[in-house]
A and B are shown apart, each in its own frame.
Chain A
Amino acid sequence: MAQIRIQNVRKEFGAFTAVQSSSFTVEDGEFFMLLGPSGCGKTTTLRMMAGLELPTSGEIYIDGEEVGMKPASQRDIAFVFQMFALYPHMNVRKNISYPLLSQGMSRAEAKTRVEEVARILKIENILDRPVGGLSGGDRQRVALGRAIVRRPKAFFMDEPLGALDAEFREHMAEELRALHDRIGATTVYVTHDQLEAMQMGDKIVVMNHGVVEQFGKPQDIYDWPATKFVAKFIGSPAMNFFDFDGMIGIGSNAIELSGHRVTVPLSRQGASGKLTLGVRPEHIRFSDASAYRGRVLATEYLGTTQIVTMATPNGEIKARTPAKQSVTSGEIIGLEFDPQTLTIFDDMKGQALLSEANERVLRHG
């Protein structure tokens, strides 16, 4: 098991830059998520870590050793592909034992290892079946088996649940996480699904256009997004943006939103001009005392909560409120924000301004 360190890694395909100078560290034993929309460079980053793609520049350290230019076969890692890539001309047993035979392990030893893995994954009964007829879940387990049988330094997974149907995904995600907790291997997992990333990851890297936008624990990223992109990408419904023209000084703890004073965390960074106030839907409360008002456009009932879409002087927003609270379309309601959860973004740069509340999260990364 190993720590993986990515340092200023960059990848160009001709004139196109897939990954721009990225750096982050995956600690030993971590379940690490590479998250981003399609085309953001997350898969390319993973493939560079695995040795399937060579970086244009930068260094990749696995277990302290620089492996950037080493072929995949010499990195002692395992890779789970989205389409599984089980060898179609071999049965399940052969598929799982294939990586062992390349290391010159004896057949008897390989057999015991395969059976041990099959027991962990509960696939003993299909070991002698051809892979062609297996269900999606079983193929997924075989692909995992082929990865863990070698006890590699790290696991790389490229949207391994992407090919499964929704119902089964949930189940497999739990299984994967349980498997990780059991064997404690460093795992890097690529996904475009923010829920999957939040649900399974110890840490998340959010990428966009080949740039690492933010990297940290799921909760930190959710609560204190470093950029507007992250704020929009993580969470469903996404963080609300109240666009306004104004200013905030260092040490100030209030902004003026369409003529109303809104208390925000003590600012550590000043800015003026086009700014955006970011508020998570669950941090909006209805309060008749508030002078800042919005008109209800629609409600979506979700059981314990409801999503209320509203028109405000600063654009359309969504609030998550308890389902019991009755609201009707067209109603005008006063809005209050939970002051210690607010983030202000510089609209031009798309960056969050440092404040007393988010500096702990944003300073280190």
Chain B
Amino acid sequence: MSSYSVTEPSVRQKWAAGTLVVVYALITILPLLWIIATSFKSPSDAIAYPPKTVFQPTLEGYVNLFTTRTRATEQDLKELGEPNTWYDRIVRKDGFIIAGPSRFMERFSNSMIIGFGSTVLCIVLGTAAAYAFSRFKVPLKDDLLFFILSTRMMPPIAVAIPIFLMFRSLGLNDTHAGMILLYTAVNLSLAVWLLKGFIDEIPIEYEEAALIDGYTRFQAFYKVVLPQAMTGIASTAIFCLIFAWNEYAFAVLLTSGTAQTAPPFIPTIIGVGGQDWPAVAAGATLFLVPVMIFTIVLRKHLLRGITFGAVRK
């Protein structure tokens, strides 16, 4: 057994690669950890200089995120008596009382509806289109595919003004449907291209086998092709969701009330006497959670593709 192999990396190479990955991971993950840490700081700790890495954790940021508060006099506070919930206690400590819930939950659920809605629509349309492009003789196929791709060649925001005008005359401004349609339109080209690549990889013999086994083409599509395309569908869905979830510019421009998503809302959380950083950080932290869960749930599909092997190529 020789210690040198062409295909296996040496111990030193493995160490170098490992170190590189760890350093890169730290660089990318550090801002994230900082945001999460900030969300548990008190406002004064959040802006302390030099920055504090050890601090007394508090849920003040989260309470402030979910509530609106008004300043109360000491007289008022006395009259109210002892606070009866933990969040009342946190607020009153600073001389405030809770006036009502904030709009964060609404914005957050708007983000969920619009983000997941556009992702689902994108996947349904994208898979169907990709299947057609992959399997059927489509007239002008290459031109159509190029045309679809070309919509990606400019930053989507370049067409912001025409879209704004179009939405206004169609009554789609500040509606869930409008935002879902918009994000779907932007993501669809990517979805079609990605999914076409994945479907091209699935040997056509599987469908032919199903056709011969007595199934219709549609049955063959959803019973044989779809399960195999899950890897591609999962990764495409993650891309689509992340784009729709993080999108800021269109959201600022086209939504203000009913359909406003979380990204334009979070920076507007302003506390009394300056920016309430822990509340902003709390909003950002919570905002991360759904995408993280979604990615983790679909992760096994991303890895599963490799283990399939019923085809001998």
Contacts and interface: CB of A to CB of B under 8 A. Distances in A.
A318 interface: no
Interface in A94-117: 98-99, 102-103
A110 to B, nearest CB: 12
Nearest to A136: B312
Interface residues of B, number: 23
A88 B308 contact: yes
B203 A87 contact: no
B206, B219, B228: which has the most chain A beta carbons within 10 Å? B206
A12 B205 CA distance: 21
Contact of A139 (B210, B212, B312): B312
Contacts, number: 78
Contact of A87 (B206, B212, B307, B313): B206
Nearest to A77: B212
A83 B311 contact: yes
Contacts of B224: 87
B216 interface: yes
A132 B307 contact: yes
Nearest to B208: A52
B208 A85 contact: yes
B310 interface: yes
B209 interface: yes
B158 to A, nearest CB: 40
B299 to A, nearest CB: 18
A224 B311 CA distance: 40
A83 B313 contact: yes
Interface in A64-106: 71-73, 77-79, 81, 83-89, 98-99, 102-103
B309 A72 contact: no
Nearest to A149: B213
A171 B185 CA distance: 56
A102 B215 contact: yes
B307 A50 contact: no
Given A89-B228, A132-B310, A83 B211 contact: no
A99 B308 contact: no
A73 B311 contact: no
Contacts of B203: 83, 85
B214 interface: yes
A73 B307 contact: no
A72 B208 CA distance: 8
Contacts of A163: 312
B274 interface: no
A205 B287 CA distance: 68
B312 A85 contact: no
B227 interface: yes
A146 B213 CA distance: 9
Contact of B214 (A52, A103, A133, A136): A103
14 contacts: A73-B214, A73-B215, A79-B209, A83-B203, A85-B209, A86-B310, A87-B210, A88-B206, A88-B311, A89-B227, A132-B310, A133-B309, A139-B312, A146-B209
Interface of B: 203, 205-206, 208-216, 219, 224, 227-228, 307-313
Q: Which 7 A-B pairs have the closest CB atoms?
A: A102-B214, A88-B310, A99-B213, A85-B205, A85-B209, A89-B227, A132-B309
